Amino acid sequence: MNQRSRLSLIVIQIFIASLMVALMGRLFYLQVAAGPKYRDAALSIQSRDVVTPANRGFIVDSSGVPLALNKVGLAITVDRTKIDLLPDQGAAVIQSLVTLLSLNFADVWQRTRLCGELPKGMKTGCWTGSRFQPIPITNEADPKLALSIVERPDKYPGISATPVAFRSYPEILGLNGGHVLGYVGPLTEADLAGANGRTYFRSEEIGKAGLEYVYDNYLRGTPGIKTFIVDRKEAVTTTSKNSKPTPGDHLVTSLDARLQAATDIALADAVQRARASGYRADGGAAVVLDVSNGQVLALSSYPTFDPNAFEKGLTVKQAKDLYSESTGVPALNRALQGLYAPGSTFKAVSVVAARDAGYDLKGTYQCPKEVQVGNRAFQNFESKSQGSLTLKQAIAVSCDTIWYKIAYDEWVRDGGLSPKSNPNDYFFKAAAKFQMGVKTGIDLPSESAGRLANRQWRADWYSQNKDYYCNYKDRAAKSAQTPFLVLLAHENCLDGDKIRAGDAVNFSIGQGDTVLTPIKLAQMYAAIANGGTLWKPTIAKAIIKTDGTVIRTFAPKKDGELGVDQTTIAFLHDALHEVTVSGTSAGVFASFPVATSGKTGTAQVFGNNANGTAKADTSWYASFAPATNPRYAVVMMVSQGGFGASTSAVGVRKIYETLFGVKGNTVVPGLALFPDGNPPTKLPRISPATKPKPSILNPGKPAVVASPTPTSKATAKR
Partner 1 sequence: MSTFLNRNPYRRGRRLSVTSGFDPVLTGAVAGLLILGTLLVYAATRQWYASNGLDPQYYLKRQVINIVIGLVLAWGVTIIDYRLLRAYTPFIWGFGVLGLIFVLLPGVGSTVNGAKAWIPLPGGFQIQPAEIAKISIIIGISMLLSERTHNSDAPTHKDVLRSLAVAGLPVLLILAQPDMGTVFIISASVVTILAVSGAPTRWVVGLLLLAVIGGFVATKAGVISEYQIKRLQSFVDPNADTQGAGYQLRQARITVGSGGLIGTGLFNGPQTNGRFVPEQQTDFIFTVAGEELGFLGSGLIIFLLFLILMRAFAIARRSNDPYGTLVCTGVIAWFAFQTFENIGMTLGLMPMTGVPLPFMSYGGSSMFANLIGFGLLQNVHARHHG
Give the residues lining the site for partner 1 (CB under 8 A): 1-2, 4-6, 8-9, 11-13, 16-17, 19-20, 22-24, 26-28, 30-32, 34-39, 41-43, 45-46, 229-233, 235, 237
Instruction: List Cβ<8 Å contacts ≥24 apart for 316-319.
Output: 316/124, 316/125
- Min dist CB 116 to partner 1, Å, is 15
Chain centroid to Cα 235, Å, comes to 46
Q: Which is nearer to partner 1, 42 or 377 (CB)?
A: 42
Q: Which is nearer to partner 1, 19 or 551 (CB)?
A: 19
Q: Which DSSP string corresponds to 239-275?
A: EEEE-PPBPPPEEEES--HHHHHHHHHHHHHHHHHHH
Q: How many CB atoms lie within 10 A of CB 626?
A: 17
Q: Report helix angle 455-470 to 483-495, nearest 10.
A: 120
Q: Report helix angle 143-150 to 91-101, nearest 10.
A: 150
Cα–Cα distance for residue pair 68/103, rounded to 1 Å: 27
- Would residue 504 be called left, alpha or beta, if left means φ above 0 and alpha means ψ between -120 and 50 degrees? alpha
Sign of CA dihedral 24, 30, 33, 39: negative
Q: Which is nearer to partner 1, 12 or 377 (CB)?
A: 12
Q: Which is nearer to partner 1, 31 or 629 (CB)?
A: 31
- Min dist CB 3 to partner 1, Å, is 9
- Min dist CB 82 to partner 1, Å, is 17
CB 500 within 8 A of CB 326: no
Q: Which is nearer to partner 1, 46 or 424 (CB)?
A: 46
Q: How many CB atoms lie within 10 A of CB 517?
A: 28
- Min dist CB 234 to partner 1, Å, is 10
What is the torsion angle, in degrees rounded to the nearest 10, for the CA atoms of residue 499, residue 500, residue 506 and residue 508? 60
Single-letter residue type at 557: K
User: For residue 303, is the peptide bond before it cis, meaning its omega torsion is within 30 degrees of 0?
Assistant: yes
Q: Which is nearer to partner 1, 7 or 72 (CB)?
A: 7
Q: Which is nearer to partner 1, 37 or 413 (CB)?
A: 37
- Min dist CB 131 to partner 1, Å, is 17
Q: Which is nearer to partner 1, 5 or 104 (CB)?
A: 5
- Min dist CB 557 to partner 1, Å, is 54
Cα–Cα distance for residue pair 147/143, rounded to 1 Å: 6
Largest CA distance in the chain: 137
- Min dist CB 235 to partner 1, Å, is 7
Non-local (6+) Cβ contacts of 567 within 8 A are: 355, 361
H or E segment and range at residue 52? strand 47-52
Q: Which is nearer to partner 1, 6 or 557 (CB)?
A: 6
Q: Which is nearer to partner 1, 29 or 105 (CB)?
A: 29
- Min dist CB 451 to partner 1, Å, is 56
Q: Which is nearer to partner 1, 20 or 716 (CB)?
A: 20
- Min dist CB 203 to partner 1, Å, is 24
CB 335 within 8 A of CB 518: yes
- Min dist CB 14 to partner 1, Å, is 10
Judged on CB neighbours under 10 Å (0-12, 13-18, 19+), 445 is middle
- Min dist CB 223 to partner 1, Å, is 24
CB 260 within 8 A of CB 296: no
Q: Which is nearer to partner 1, 4 or 473 (CB)?
A: 4
Q: Which is nearer to partner 1, 12 or 417 (CB)?
A: 12
- Min dist CB 233 to partner 1, Å, is 8
Judged on CB neighbours under 10 Å (0-12, 13-18, 19+), 42 is exposed
- Min dist CB 205 to partner 1, Å, is 32
Residue 5, CB half-sphere, CA atoms under 13 Å: how many? Answer: 2
